[in-house]
Amino acid sequence: ETGVTQTPRHLVMGMTNKKSLKCEQHLGHNAMYWYKQSAKKPLELMFVYSLEERVENNSVPSRFSPECPNSSHLFLHLHTLQPEDSALYLCASSQEPDLNTEAFFGQGTRLTVV
Amino acid sequence: ILNVEQSPQSLHVQEGDSTNFTCSFPSSNFYALHWYRWETAKSPEALFVMTLNGDEKKKGRISATLNTKEGYSYLYIKGSQPEDSATYLCAFITSSGYALNFGKGTSLLVTP
């Protein structure tokens, strides 16, 4: 257990559906992240939140919408996704966004868009 | 996009062998270098965070070195065990960045 919990672990959704991924950490960290891993690619940063404010949006399509209601929770809202969005979505947190200490990761949500 | 290169892509060794992997990264604006171990169906877990040129860190049979001037880090595993089988990820962050830039990882398989 890393202290970062993601739900659901697996999700299958149609292209017209709306769903949300949830991430929760009770480590007292100030920064939270969404990463995407597609097959044969490195982990790609999607969003960074520091003290509940979005500090980086890495050119992610608007069909992905993040939300950080407090420092312990991070959501990724999904709508009208494409099959190529099928991937593993990882949440992470760190004490501070400057990352001179380790990041803690959840186990990820395996998303399949059909 | 800041490229992080890891080699080899995959590695298969026998139990008891020692092995090492390489991570190459841009040397300008360096801030920190992270190594993570990612076992199948689990979360990536941090091994080391290194910030200073010449850093050497050790955790049990695993150690890492850092050269920020030439932009590389080595991860060493001494006397590999089957439980070391995992993907080893390298990631770095620049002084102006907010998040880690990852390599594709080195997939290690250790067989008895």
Chain segment B40-65, per-residue pLDDT in tens:
989 999 999 999 999 999 999 999 99
Separation of alpha carbons B47 and B36, rounded Å: 5
- pLDDT tens per residue across span A43-100: 999 999 988 888 877 789 999 999 999 999 999 999 999 999 999 999 999 998 777 8
What pLDDT does residue B96 have?
82
Task: Show Cβ contacts of residue B23 under 8 Å, excluding neighbours closer than 6 positions.
Answer: B4, B5, B6, B33, B35, B72, B73, B74, B75, B90, B92, B103
What does the pLDDT read at residue B99?
81
Q: Specify the pLDDT at position B60.
A: 96
Using CA coordinates, name the residue in chain A closest to B4: A42
CB atoms near residue B48 (< 10 Å): 22
Q: How far apart are CA A33 and CA A38, in angstroms?
A: 16
Contact A41 B101 (CB under 8 A): no
Query: Does the pLDDT value for residue B97 go beyond 70?
Result: yes
pLDDT of residue A98: 74
Q: What is A29-63 written as a DSSP string?
A: -SEEEEEEE-TTS--EEEEEEETTEEEEE-S--TT
Beta partners for residue B88, in sequence order: B37, B106
> How far does the CA of residue A70 sit from the closest CA of chain B (Å)?
19
* Cβ distance of B45 and A40 shorter than 8 Å: no
Q: Hey, is the C-beta of A59 within 8 angstroms of any chain B C-beta?
A: no
DSSP per residue over B32-87, as a string? EEEEEEE-TTS--EEEEEE-STT-EEEETTEEEEEETTTTEEEEEESS--GGG-EE
- How sure is the predictor about B1, in pLDDT bands with cuts at 50, 70 and 90? low
* pLDDT for the residue B34: 96
